Amino acid sequence: MTRRRWIAEHWDEATATIIGAQAEHMARVLRAQPGTEADVVAGGHVFHAQVVAVSPKEVRFNLVAELEADPALPVTLVLAIYKFDHMEWALEKATELGVAGIAPVIAKRTEKYLALAADKRAERWRRIVHESAQQSRRSDVPILYDPAPLSARVRAASAATRIVLAEQERTTTLRNALDEAIAASESEMPSLEIAIGPEGGWAPEEEALFDANGWRATSLGPRILRAETAAIAAMAVVASCLE
């Protein structure tokens, strides 16, 4: 039987601990006991583990043996902030598909009230990616960066191949851009940053900013996708190229 996987908050060489809602669930709902077996992720490594102490506040494990881990895809999604419920769906699914990081950014067409609420919402976004990583049996949790203005992210120095998804691009597909990045890369896995616009799309001055800072415009095909669909489709294309 597949063992439940937990992502530990604290660990040392031989033990690991989960706290808060995870511990409460394990203690009250799953009624874990000393001796219960589980997989535990500690510091990016996955272990076969055994419960040694249970309370609704804290569950402690002995780490028995290290298991093979599954590395994240080296891709950070730069996601313009838009309707929270749609965006959160994208966070969950991108995590399942192996994203390494998600950077929520405030774009020109991000609704003002969403931009104002984003800082507070980031805690919930971190919980969503944590739960999704656990549910999809990942060995790490994607980094959820603090919300920031789009221009700061676009201008920041980066060694990654930088791609902006733009529905009006007709020549270069995401697949073409990735094939070129892989051919040019000395390692098999080039790091990628992929930016996805809000519901209203990128403003012309944002397109110019991407262009001036070396981001390459790419297409996901002739149809206009919702931002969350674009995020999932981009992750699927990356996975098919890199895995």
> Binding-site residue total for ligand SAM (CB under 6 A)?
18
Structure tokens at 75: 């891709």
Per CB under 6 A, 201 contacts ligand SAM: yes
Identified binder of ligand SAM from the candidate list 46, 154, 196, 238, rule CB under 6 A = 196
Per CB under 6 A, 115 contacts ligand SAM: no
Report, in Å, the least distance between residue 52 CB and ligand SAM: 48
DSSP letters spanning the chain: -PPPEEE-SEE-SSEEEEEHHHHHIIIIIS---TT-EEEEEETTEEEEEEEEEE-SSEEEEEEEEEE---PPPSEEEEEE---HHHHHHHHHHHHHTT-SEEEEEE-TTS-HHHHHHHHHHHHHHHHHHHHHHHHTT-SS--EEPPPEEHHHHHHS--SSEEEEE-TT--S-BHHHHHHHHHHH-SSSS--EEEEE--TT---HHHHHHHHHTTPEEEBS-SSPPPHHHHHHHHHHHHHHHH-
State which of positions 209-238 bind ligand SAM (CB under 6 A): 219-221, 223-227, 230
Q: How far apart are CA 133 and CA 73, in angstroms?
A: 13
Window contacting ligand SAM (CB under 6 A); options: 3-11, 38-46, 141-149, 198-206:
198-206
Per CB under 6 A, 96 contacts ligand SAM: no
Q: How far apart are CA 234 and CA 199, in angstroms?
A: 16
Q: Which is nearer to ligand SAM, 128 or 196 (CB)?
A: 196
Q: Which is nearer to ligand SAM, 4 or 83 (CB)?
A: 83
Q: Which is nearer to ligand SAM, 133 or 196 (CB)?
A: 196
* Residues 165-184: x where in contact with ligand SAM by CB under 6 A, - otherwise, as a string: xxx-----------------
Report, in Å, the least distance between residue 125 CB and ligand SAM: 19
Q: 10 Å Cβ neighbour count for 56?
A: 13
Per CB under 6 A, 199 contacts ligand SAM: yes
Report, in Å, the least distance between residue 221 CB and ligand SAM: 5
Q: Which is nearer to ligand SAM, 23 or 230 (CB)?
A: 230
Structure tokens at 95: 């995590």
Q: Which is nearer to ligand SAM, 40 or 181 (CB)?
A: 181
Report, in Å, the least distance between residue 199 CB and ligand SAM: 5
Per CB under 6 A, 202 contacts ligand SAM: yes
Report, in Å, the least distance between residue 200 CB and ligand SAM: 5
Instruction: Give the contacts of 96 (CB within 8 A, at least 6 positions apart).
Output: 132, 135, 136
Residues found near ligand SAM in the complex (CB under 6 A): 165-167, 196-197, 199-202, 219-221, 223-227, 230
